[in-house]
Chains A and B, each alone.
Chain A
Amino acid sequence: MRELTIDATLENIGPVTGFVNEALEGLGCPAWIQYQIDVAIDELFGNIARYAYRPGIGPATVTVEVTKAPPAVVVTFVDQGVPYDPLAREDPDVSLPLEEREEGGLGIFLVKKTMDDVSYEYREGRNILRIKKHLP
């Protein structure tokens, strides 16, 4: 397991992505899966940076675990900001035509669709959000 604790800011999405990608090196993780995980980091860490400690700044801890049977990557995001369950949000209507589309709401939806499992819990004052992606 690898762990990184860093200020939850939009500027730190890059370092967090680099940290997770480094952990994936040598696992034979195909590029398209790595890209999906990178998108999930952009959405989830980005949300923590935008909302968790607003208007201040606080830390988030990101852990990467690799399981062997079945082969999978689990990335966990933990923050101590306001309790917020992003999975409780209703899915956007993706059948709406262009004119009726509004900005926003697609990030979490995208994560739910591209990861094999997404879970949330609030425990001891911490938001714990976990994504899992199986490796081929």
Chain B
Amino acid sequence: MTITKEAAGTALTLSLQGRLDTGTAPQLDAALKESMDGVTDLTLDFAGLEYISSAGLRVLLSAQKVMKKQGSMVIRHVNETIMEVFEVTGFSDFLTIQ
């Protein structure tokens, strides 16, 4: 998986390419921990993401918990497979998906 970062003031966009799974979830976790400080608008762009497993859901869960306290988190360009994962796990109830 590759992660592209784009920061503008307190807004941060991370664009993900590839697969968010056991092997790559620590990469996203590290990228978030490294740059979430002071961010009020976090956007995760999933346009290049193929799928997400429970390892990826864990990272999104903790990111959403942090961002709920300090601003907002939006996930964009979610494909059909990933949307189904969000729906069956109930994540679609608390994630903001655009």
Contacts and interface: CB of A to CB of B under 8 A. Distances in A.
Interface of A: 10-11, 13-14, 31-32, 35-36, 38-39, 42-43, 46, 92, 94-99, 101, 103-104, 106-107, 109-110, 113-114
Assign chain B's interface to a size class: 20 to 34
Contacts of B93: 95, 97
B94 A97 contact: yes
B97 interface: no
B88 interface: yes
A103 to B, nearest CB: 5
21 contacts: A10-B22, A13-B21, A13-B23, A32-B81, A38-B19, A39-B21, A39-B53, A42-B21, A43-B53, A46-B22, A46-B55, A92-B89, A95-B93, A97-B94, A98-B64, A98-B65, A98-B94, A106-B89, A107-B55, A109-B88, A114-B84
B47 to A, nearest CB: 15
Interface in B55-98: 55, 57-58, 61-62, 64-65, 68, 79-81, 84-85, 88-90, 93-94
Contacts of B61: 98, 101, 103
B44 interface: no
Nearest to A106: B54
A106 B90 CA distance: 10
Given A46-B22, A97-B94, A98-B65, A104 B58 contact: yes
The secondary-structure label for the interface of chain A is helix
B22 A13 contact: yes
Contacts of B50: 31, 35, 38
